[in-house]
Amino acid sequence: MFNYLRKRFTNHIRERSRRRARLVSKDGRCNIEFGNVEQSRFVFLIDIWTTILDLKWRYKMTIFISAFLGSWFLFGLLWYVVAYIHKDLPEFNPSINHTPCVENINGLTSAFLFSLETQVTIGYGFRCVTEQCATAIFLLIFQSILGVIINSFMCGAILAKISRSKNRAKTITFSKNAVISKRGGKLCLLIRVANLRKSLLIGSHIYGKLLKTTITPEGETIILDQVNIEFVVDAGNENLFFISPLTIYHIIDKNSPFFHMAAETILQQDFELVVFLDGTVEATSATCQVRTSYIPEEVLWGYRFAPIVSKTKEGKYRVDFQNFSKTVAVETPHCAFCLYNEKAKAKEKKGYDNPGFVLSEVCETSDTKM
């Protein structure tokens, strides 16, 4: 019992460590950290628009709320200073014939309310600027322009954040596991991908990268070395008709990095297969990218995906997503090299007819001449 628990705990720790070393998560987020960057963090303020868009919603709303409250309070202080300098406040006991710069500013609170009304263009009509002070007129113009800029920036940032293609990418899903089995007489690695919306992705393109640690002939160790993995669909890997789930596959030939792997050794390999799907959103014409990754434990050798599309009695095509990641065991060669050897032996055993061959009979005679 103790040995069993120790084995389970060891496997759990090994699985967690492998997950921590994953570069791309299943939902497409990159697990990477930048350290010792020489450039200052102020360089992000140069591209302030992208910085604001990349912020999370809680930080974005905190910045906008702080900007509004700060501008209202700052201009409220300025309006109070204008009223104080012009001696419009009640503590100066202005005369009946006194014309204030701003009507009905009696203190800091009323100055803040006037600043709020001016910037958001509420206009209750109780407080207003008079033509007595040029300073007040200039401050009114300046605050109005600044308020329009803040409002425009906030509305644009929120609209761009909501309409970003990253949200559209969440409606594209990949199968939980990749499978390796025969397809069309060839050993292939298959992955299933589905579009959860009825709107299409225009100009979709699917490709992959195999990340692994390699050692060059010169002895250099390259971490996260990238190897191109070509994925195809029966109709081609570009301009996909992505209305129903598709099964993409990579042919394991002699040029494939999976060629020297086998069913018994694939779990001992150290690699990460990252799959990308690029496309243009039909509604917004924005380009989006969906990505996911598979580690050796998520590549099932000797399986294929269960059927997912059927036809109803009403003549409609029905997609059952309950079987989306379901796999079925099938007879599969335990390595690609074995499959190619079987094909080579089959060709050697097979005979071929030569249509140009003619059988001729030779007549033997018993007489010999000396």
Which H or E run contains 249?
A: strand 246-251
Query: For 26-40, what is the mean pLDDT?
Result: 73
Whole-Å CA distances, 330 to 132, 302, 321: 90, 6, 21
Average pLDDT over residues 201-212: 87
Q: How far is CA 117 from CA 8, 80, 278, 345, in A?
A: 66, 15, 47, 88
Q: Is the pLDDT of residue 232 over 70?
A: yes
Most confident by average pLDDT, 121-130, 138-147, 216-225, 353-362? 138-147
Please state which of the ranges 96-110, 146-160, 350-364 shows the lowest mean pLDDT: 350-364
Is the pLDDT assigned to residue 61 strictly greater than 80? yes
Whole-number pLDDT of residue 353: 53
The topology under which CATH files domain 55-163 is Helix Hairpins (1.10.287)
| 254 Cβ contact list (under 8 Å, min separation 6) | 340
Q: What is the DSSP string of 216-251?
A: -TTS-EEEEEEEEE--B-TT-SBS--TTS-EEEEEE
- Lowest mean per-residue pLDDT among 66-80, 136-150, 355-369: 355-369
Q: Pairing relation of β-strands 221-229 and 172-174?
A: unpaired
Domain locations in the chain as residue ranges? 55-163, 168-349
pLDDT of residue 1: 60
Q: Please give the torsion angle defined by the CA atoms of residues 292, 296, 297 and 298, in that order, rounded to the nearest 10 degrees.
A: 30
Share of the chain above pLDDT 90, in %: 28
Q: How confident is the model at residue 38 (pLDDT cuts 50, 70, 90)?
A: low
User: Which of the pair, 26 or 71, is modelled with greater confidence?
Assistant: 71
Q: Do domains 55-163 and 168-349 have the same CATH topology?
A: no
Who wins on pLDDT, 38 or 174? Answer: 174
Cα separation, 226 vs 214, in Å, equals: 10
Q: What's the pLDDT at 213? A: 83
How confident is residue 370, by pLDDT bands cut at 50, 70 and 90?
A: very low
Alpha carbon distance 274, 293 (integer Å): 4
- Which CATH code fits 168-349? 2.60.40.1400
Alpha carbon separation from 23 to 17, 94, 108 (Å, rounded): 12, 72, 55
Most confident segment among 177-191, 238-252, 325-339: 177-191
Q: Over the stretch 272-298, which tens digit does the pLDDT of each residue have? A: 999 998 888 877 778 888 899 999 999
Return the minimum-mean-pLDDT range out of 101-110, 178-187, 226-235.
Answer: 226-235
Residue 73 has a pLDDT of 96
- The pTM of this model reads 0.69
User: What is the pLDDT at residue 206?
Assistant: 87
Please check the confidence at residue 113 and state whether its pLDDT lies above 70.
yes
- Cα–Cα distance for residue pair 214/222, rounded to 1 Å: 5
CB atoms within 10 A of CB 355: 5
pLDDT the model gives residue 175: 92
Q: Where are the alpha helices (DSSP H) in the chain?
A: 2-20, 43-46, 48-54, 57-85, 108-119, 134-162, 165-169, 336-349
Work out whether strand 287-294 and strand 271-281 pair parallel, antiparallel, or are unpaired.
Answer: antiparallel
The yes-or-no verdict on residue 357 having pLDDT over 70 is no
pLDDT at position 80 = 94
- Greater pLDDT, 32 or 75: 75
In DSSP notation, 252-270 reads --TTSTTTT-BTTTGGG--
Contact of 119 with 75, CB cutoff 8 Å: yes
- In the block, residue with structure tokens 């920036």: 153
Say whether pLDDT at 343 is over 70. Answer: no
**Poorest-pLDDT segment among 21-25, 208-212, 273-277:** 21-25
Among 38-42, 79-83, 174-178, whose mean pLDDT is lowest? 38-42
Average pLDDT rounded to a whole number, residues 319-338: 86
Amino acid occupying residue 113: L
Q: Tell me the average pLDDT across 147-172.
A: 84
Note the pLDDT tens digit of each residue in 239-265.
677 778 888 899 998 889 898 888 888
Question: Residue 2 has what pLDDT?
Answer: 63
Q: Are 310 and 318 in contact (CB under 8 A)?
A: yes
